[in-house]
Amino acid sequence: MQRAYPTHYRAFLYHRLRPQRLLLSQLKTTQLTIKGRWLEQLGFYAGQAVVVKIERNKLIIELAMQI
């Protein structure tokens, strides 16, 4: 049986400039964007909260538990 979603997703990290309120300057931060129809196939929908678990060289994204 063939999967309807990818087992690997290649993304790139980008820099984003964020304005700082107290200082009249900008702060450079790293940004990661993940998008695709396959996210809904895995149960991730727009507006849902997620938790990002952080390990060395690894990010694990899970749906936040509903209370």
Extents of the domains making up the chain = 13-63
Give first-to-last CA distance, the chain, whole Å: 35
| Phi, psi (rounded to 5 degrees) for 42 | -95, 0
Structure confidence at residue 50 (pLDDT):
95
Structure confidence at residue 19 (pLDDT):
77
HSE-up (13 A, CA, CB side) for residue 38: 10
Exposure string over 7-29, b if 16+ CB within 10 A, otherwise e: eeeeeeeeeeeeeeeeeeeeeee
| Phi, psi (rounded to 5 degrees) for 58 | -150, 135
pLDDT digits (tens, 9 = 90+) for 3-60: 677 788 888 898 988 777 776 677 888 999 999 989 999 999 999 999 999 999 999 9
pTM above 0.85, yes or no: no
Structure confidence at residue 45 (pLDDT):
95
SS3 label, residue 38: helix
